[in-house]
Amino acid sequence: MSTLAVAIQGKRWELAALCLLMGVTEAAAALPPNAVEGLLEVLAGLEDEERRPRASTGARTGGGRDRGRSR
C-alpha cells in the first residue's frame, strides 16, 4: 500500500497533504519549462473557483439519500 493510501486510511491528513504536494512537485519537474507557467495559472484559477458559491446538485452526496443501505 502506498504512503498516501496509508495516510488517508489512518486519517493522517498532514502526511497525505505532503504526499500530494510531493506528487505535484515531481509532475511539475517533469514538465517542459514553458508548461510550468501554464500550470501555475491553472492552479491560481482554482483559488478563484473555491471562493465562488457552488450550485448544490446533490450529485456528490447522493441527493441526501443513503444509497447502498436498505431501510
The DSSP line for the chain is --HHHHHHHTT-HHHHHHHHHHHHHHHHHHS-HHHHHHHHHHHHHHHHHHHSPPP--STTTTTT--TT---
What is the chain's alpha carbon radius of gyration, rounded to the nearest angstrom?
A: 18
pLDDT mean values, one per 10 residues, the chain (71 residues)? 96 97 91 86 75 53 46 39
The set of cell numbers assigned to 18 is 505532503
